[in-house]
Amino acid sequence: MGYTSPSPYAQLPTATRRERNGQNAVERLAVEVVRREIAAMPASLVVQLAMWPDEIAAWARELHASESLVYNMLAARKPYARTRQQLAERLDVGLAVVDHLIEARRATPSTRRGPADVEPAPTDDPTPIDWTRPPYARRRDGTNPIERRAVRIVELDAASMPAATVVGLAIWPESLSAWSRAERLKSSVVWATLAGSPSVPVRDALARRLGVSLRELDALVTDARAVSVARRPPDVRAAVADALQPDRAADDAPRRDRRRTARPPERDDDQLGLGF
């Protein structure tokens, strides 16, 4: 008697795989969350998205710096002025833009806002930040050139990101690890499921959490990832290059201004635990 696999993926074709195109329900949800919450996300997550498909760890190795040093710099635990300057060069923005992303006050995630957050406080400055005239207001509103780059890259490249990354963005600010604990599931099983080794309990729970069908979740996991825009042929990259670049007017002035703010940075204790 032949063995029949109980896997829900067993009947999927193995010879050819469809390629993800960014239209999966989970991918669209991830894009929506990033658009809405970019100003509330820690600097390290924003930078990781803005660097995609490169990774912070790989960039740190290029600098011959430790990964922990880079994450501590992004968490404003120490200035690390030289590394900030190198990051500004890597992202093609001015140093003042990097300083703002790291040091400015983050917004509150929309899912965690209480009645006091609905209306701005009388002391809050509602004026949009003018990126041509540093120093900038010490608050993040989602218009920082690095934030805009990160949003645009997710819009264009969600289909090239691992399923676990897409799901992690879709449930943000909750992390996959926290969600696993709340569901009494092993994190290792959750990650394995998103890597293609399915677990029926994990599939069911994740689909409920995301508000999508099992078919959509399965497609995210089993369909082939697209090639990221940065790694496509030059003619394809050129077609989207302008969309990835911050406004030049918003970039040139900060590049000329190298002044550092005197106010000590606010620390974000959760920046090291991205689970990205």
What confidence category does residue 272 fall into, taking pLDDT thresholds of 50, 70 and 90? very low
What confidence category does residue 254 fall into, taking pLDDT thresholds of 50, 70 and 90? very low
Q: pLDDT above 90 covers what percent of the chain? A: 66
Q: pLDDT above 70 covers what percent of the chain? A: 74
For residues 47 and 10, the model is more confident at: 47
Nearest to 39 by CA among 228, 175, 172: 172
Report d(CA 32, CA 151) in Å as an integer. 9
- pLDDT of 243 reads 54
CA distance readout (Å), 215 to 26, 68, 116, 168, 195: 11, 39, 40, 18, 16
What confidence category does residue 231 fall into, taking pLDDT thresholds of 50, 70 and 90? confident
Whether 251 has a pLDDT exceeding 60, the answer reads no
pLDDT averaged over the chain? 83
Query: What's 1's DSSP letter?
Result: -
Whether 133 has a pLDDT exceeding 70, the answer reads yes
- pLDDT of 263 reads 38
Q: Which residues pair with 220 in a beta bridge?
A: none
pTM of the predicted model, to two decimals?
Answer: 0.79
User: CB of 232 within 8 A of CB of 37?
Assistant: no
What confidence category does residue 17 fall into, taking pLDDT thresholds of 50, 70 and 90? confident
Identify the weakest region by mean pLDDT among 48-62, 119-133, 193-207, 257-271: 257-271
Q: Concatenated DSSP letters for 54-122?
A: S-HHHHHHHTT--HHHHHHHHTTSS--HHHHHHHHHHHT--HHHHHHHHHSBPPPPGGG--GGGTS--T
- pLDDT of 239 reads 60
For residues 237 and 161, the model is more confident at: 161
Whether 142 has a pLDDT exceeding 50, the answer reads yes
